[in-house]
Amino acid sequence: MLQDVHTQLYIDGEWRESSDGARHDVLTPATGERIGDAAWATTADVDAAVAAAKASFERGDWSALSGRERARVLIRIAALIRERSEELAIAESVDVGKPILFTRVVDVPTAADTFEYYAALAQTQAGEIRDTTLPAFQYTTREALGVIGALTPFNFPLILAASKLAPALAVGNSVVHKPAEDTPLSAAILARILEDAGLPRGVYNLITGTGPALGERIVEHPDVAMIAFTGSTAVGAKVAAKCGELGKGVMTELGGNGANLVFADADIDRAVEATINAFVFNTGQFCMAGVRLLVERELHDPLLAALAAAIPHVPIGDIADMGTVIGPLVSQRHLDRVHGFVKRAVAAGGTIVTGGEPLERGGFYYPPTVITGLGNDAEAVQEEVFGPVLTVQTFDTEEEAIALANSTRYGLAMGIQTSDIVKAMRIAKRLEAGLIWVNDWGKLDPTVTFGGTKASGTGRENGPEALHHYTRTKSVVIATPPVAD
């Protein structure tokens, strides 16, 4: 386990303490113990970071390079992430409470792949020549916006940093990045990697500290052109509203409450595996988790029995053990929140099939919990718990399944388990979500675009679509002289 880690701010190519010297303890969710501390920035530090980012953009050290030149640096970043993969994996595991299995196999490789993917796209960005009836020649270009404010959450610090930084940098922007206050460690390592890869000074700036004060300053700063935000729906709505008021761009990827529709013709073993993956991955701290199980009535009893038998065998415990699948929640505060949802669900008439009480093992551990018997208007059905809690409802018809799936204010990710692919395609078209998995859950890659509908956000991450958030289109119309007689 990491011990006595000290991180600093990274502003204008320099590592520095905060302007008032403040620092904040970093705890590991695995034990609740202190593992180090991080610089606790002030709004003055935010202003310095934005000024550095703006100056770097205007100098053109990065923004004026060709896509191929920027790609070379992004490829070096990907290579250094792989070279330092164990350091990153351990830091992410200890800081977030993720089992080391996942940080080694999922988080770190995905971050490297993301920079590599956008390195390829950086070399292919181009405008268009368009036919027009005007007596003119018309073409369009896509241009970088300037300074991007990237605000990332605690559950996937490295992956979600990469998903914002890579496309923003690929097209020539400069960035001010603020990770979640509870999980700053991998961002500090990533900043060192960006520096070592040759990113010019001021192009990337790291601010660590409290969310409300620093996040608000980044959002409101007049020299920040666009905000890329992943986090809660409540905070995201405020960010989007403020950006609208200020006339700046915004991309929000917010909460989810995904429905997993299991039809009677599904392969039950495969459905059980997908269902468990859907709600226990990352200890349920996954905005695209499948936490509402909608099962066709005739399959309800055998599926529930199979789940009840399988879930206790999913390894939970030591995050340093490669066999562990479920780690702790991020904090005592968050554990209390999750357990509060479960207690209120029971009070509302729900029945606990498995789990339901915090584990007495040190750290912030909560077992996979399955609840049946709740009505569709129950809080645990309608709201995002953000923990390993699964509610179960039944349906009799395809129409009823679709109506239940679409009945919450969220629309980020959903799943369909069926042996009838034509039916899956028909239903997928009607589900109100930005990403649909069929006969599986959680398969992601830098090429797989995702994002929300309704209260789950307005933007898209991954794929070429993400680049649209970080650029603006410019049209150029050149008048042509009249043709001589």
Query: Catalytic annotation on 143?
Result: no
Alpha carbon distance 350, 352 (integer Å) = 7
Alpha carbon distance 473, 11 (integer Å) = 30
Alpha carbon distance 171, 122 (integer Å) = 6
User: Phi/psi class of residue 22: alpha, beta or left (left: φ > 0; alpha: ψ in -120 to 50)?
Assistant: beta
Residue whose C-alpha is closest to residue 315's, from 270, 268, 365: 365
Amino acid at 210: T
Distance, C-alpha 455 to centroid of its chain: 15
Alpha carbon distance 355, 314 (integer Å) = 12
Helices (H) and strands (E) in the chain, counts: 15, 22
Query: Catalytic annotation on 54?
Result: no
Residue 137 dihedral angles phi and psi, to the nearest 5°: -105, 125
Query: Catalytic annotation on 461?
Result: yes
Alpha carbon distance 423, 415 (integer Å) = 13
**Catalytic option among 195, 243, 287, 296:** 287
Query: Catalytic annotation on 238?
Result: no
CA distances from 277 to 41, 116, 222, 229, 380 (A): 37, 27, 43, 26, 19
**Catalytic option among 116, 181, 195, 253:** 253
CA distances from 481 to 140, 444, 478 (A): 20, 52, 10
Catalytic residue numbers, as ranges: 164, 253, 287, 461
